[in-house]
Chain A
């Protein structure tokens, strides 16, 4: 049963009336309601901050299908053997117990923006005064010819962390000696710009120890990628000769796969692969499109409060949003969520609303104790979230600094996990 328990108790209406006409006891009765769809870095942070800071004045429901959320950030470290899968899994228990968030484990399948309701796969309907959509990404059908969701067991994407990540690691560990790992990298824009390249680093780290004659091939539709000089320097230093990358000049943008034959066709050249990681092109999580707040693949938002350009009562956070200059990252989503939560709370309870502030930092691990980072701060402009200034690790940094950077990323993971999940 996915009824909103706290609203239900607050309501004077009886059980039967509530079930029969949930929309009747909406905005004008009881506490204002916020429904958050998606329990990742954006959604869970927003739910937590609205609930925590409003101290019970706002009824917050979080709709998230999974009971345990595996963070995409640090999932590459699991592939590399630096983390256990349990290290990156988080439950929603604290959001419910410490902050009073009504956590509903279900899929949101429809949004009626005129009635201000969200329909769940289980059949229940949730009313909202403000809706926060943080559905992350979905894949664009047909973006890698030959691959679709039915092929994801043979050629995992592992770009939504959890069972897919475990599958990819198991395939890598079982790879034949001297085998070939192929990554089909995604076109821009996509979740976690350094992610595919950190993954290659972690796969190389794993194979270097267990299968040192194995090879790694990246087929990449992009000319350039995030932290490129840092990764290429690190690959050369730690994994010399193991990793090759075919950019668009070498057909890296013209790729199809045959999951049954385990082949990858790169611009007419067919490679027999042992493990293939297909990371397709991405778009906003489907519910954003269903809600009618997307334009093209993503959901345009106002930088000041992450509200949808299509509807002031709908906010879109994180990877799904089209906000401007921030990369699609967990850090960005977390940052945006706090701005959004502050604005939503202000709109519903007259609490003070402060100027938006945005920041992002992405750490990547290249090898043991060889961490690098890139970061920037951003401001809201009328057009978009615009980059103000930033920094990036430098090539040739000494080992102590790289180790400290890695240790810093561990601290960050602990910090942001607590900030998201309580």
Chain B
């Protein structure tokens, strides 16, 4: 199901530069000839391919995909835990039943995976926080090459990915060293994910008191994803991020934003910009970033990985 949301205000960096320069000259009645910083303020380099003006007016090709709707249609079990705009519609008991079933199902995983307060890496990594995190991101665990590569390209363990992986691990992610045949029934998979979620805080949803559900995302037109970000501009912009997000990847209370794939980064920022993801600070910050600025940030943070 697709919905078109909102229209981006096109970035007007160049116009802003001109205006800012003008007012600096107008305001600085100085007794010597300084070189106003704004006079050399450079316009961020943007290579925006294949974006016709009509695309821009359509919202830059961004469309919201209500993943949960898709999930509902594929599995009746999801109904009980589907997020609702009306929080009151989510009743407690079906969810807790599902979680209890998931806890039972999780016994199959316990041989290799620990979860909970004192969980440690064993044959498999700890699974605290697994729902919504980047693949291969548990510190100190020696992942397979395939899993590391998946993390590098930005694979996120959202519900859909987990469902696919739990059904047939070695088919879903070729090269994984998880030697588990897979969970047979969709019910069991849904229950297991529901249980895993009780040990996962969605970095956004949980903070806002939403049901900790599959992260709704935006489907971006390739013209948006293909913008070549200017890493130097991204570095400047990133200083706004590092007031809260730690550059070294620390994630106490505020999620880490390093080691994301570029597409993933761009998609998530647009999700905040469009309000599909809800968090007041992020909605505010992302709301003021243009497409090329988001691309610049993604390019900068991607370069940090190397």
Q: Is B70 an interface residue (CB 8 A)?
A: no
Stretch at the interface among B17-25, B48-56, B161-169, B269-277: B17-25
Q: Which of B13, B201, B243 contacts A331 (CB 8 A)?
A: B243
CA gap between A238 and B107 in the complex, in Å: 42
Q: Are B246 and A408 in contact (CB under 8 A)?
A: no
Known contacts A342-B236, A401-B207, A401-B209; decide if A415 and B246 are in contact (CB<8 Å).
yes
B 242-280 binary contact with A (CB < 8 Å = 1; else 0)? 111111101111100000000000000000000000001
Q: Is A382 an interface residue (CB 8 A)?
A: yes
B 27-62 binary contact with A (CB < 8 Å = 1; else 0)? 110101011111011101000000000000000000
Q: Are B236 and A375 in contact (CB under 8 A)?
A: no
Q: Which of A309, A344, A412 contacts B244 (CB 8 A)?
A: A412
Chain B residues with CB under 8 Å of A359's CB are 240, 243, 284-285
Q: Which of B17, B24, B40 contacts A355 (CB 8 A)?
A: B17
Chain B residues with CB under 8 Å of A304's CB are 20, 23-24, 37-38
Q: Which of B37, B243, B288 contacts A335 (CB 8 A)?
A: B243
Chain B residues with CB under 8 Å of A347's CB are 34-35, 37
Chain A residue nearest to B37 (CB atoms) is A343
Known contacts A331-B243, A353-B37, A380-B20; decide if A410 and B252 are in contact (CB<8 Å).
yes
A 373-401 binary contact with B (CB < 8 Å = 1; else 0)? 10111001110000011110000011011
Question: A381 CB to closest chain B CB, in angstroms?
Answer: 8
Q: Are A408 and B13 in contact (CB under 8 A)?
A: no
Known contacts A355-B20, A398-B209; decide if A313 and B243 are in contact (CB<8 Å).
no
Chain B residues with CB under 8 Å of A375's CB are 280-281, 284
Q: Which of A311, A353, A391, A414 contacts B284 (CB 8 A)?
A: A391
Known contacts A357-B240, A418-B246; decide if A313 and B34 are in contact (CB<8 Å).
yes
- Interface size range of chain B in the complex: 35 or more
Q: Is A334 an interface residue (CB 8 A)?
A: yes
Chain A residues with CB under 8 Å of B209's CB are 397-398, 400-401, 404
Q: Which of A309, A313, A376, A414 contacts B246 (CB 8 A)?
A: A414
CA gap between A375 and B240 in the complex, in Å: 14
- Interface size range of chain A in the complex: 35 or more
Chain B residues with CB under 8 Å of A398's CB are 209
Question: A346 CB to closest chain B CB, in angstroms?
Answer: 5
Q: Are A408 and B207 in contact (CB under 8 A)?
A: yes
Q: Are A408 and B254 in contact (CB under 8 A)?
A: yes
Contact residues of B between 124 and 153, Cβ < 8 Å to A: none
Q: Are B239 and A49 in contact (CB under 8 A)?
A: yes
CA gap between A244 and B243 in the complex, in Å: 35
Q: Which of A361, A382, A411, A412 contacts B23 (CB 8 A)?
A: A382
Known contacts A312-B36, A350-B40, A355-B20; decide if A382 and B243 are in contact (CB<8 Å).
no
Q: Is B16 an interface residue (CB 8 A)?
A: yes
Q: Are A355 and B248 in contact (CB under 8 A)?
A: no
Instruction: State the 6 A-B residue pairs at the shortest beta-carbon distance, nearest first.
Output: A411-B253, A411-B254, A382-B23, A343-B37, A391-B280, A401-B209
Give the interface of B toward A (CB within 8 A).
13, 16-17, 20, 23-24, 26-28, 30, 32, 34-38, 40-42, 44, 201, 206-209, 232-233, 235-237, 239-240, 242-248, 250-254, 280-281, 283-285, 287-288
Give the interface of A toward B (CB within 8 A).
49, 53, 302, 304-305, 307, 309, 311-313, 331, 334-335, 338, 342-344, 346-347, 350, 352-357, 359, 361, 373, 375-377, 380-382, 388-391, 397-398, 400-401, 404-405, 407-412, 414-416, 418-419
29 inter-chain pairs at a CB distance below 8 angstroms, sorted by A residue, are A302-B27, A304-B24, A304-B38, A305-B37, A307-B37, A309-B27, A312-B28, A312-B32, A338-B240, A355-B41, A357-B240, A357-B288, A375-B281, A388-B288, A391-B284, A397-B209, A401-B209, A404-B207, A405-B207, A410-B252, A411-B250, A411-B251, A411-B252, A412-B243, A412-B244, A414-B250, A414-B253, A415-B244, A418-B247
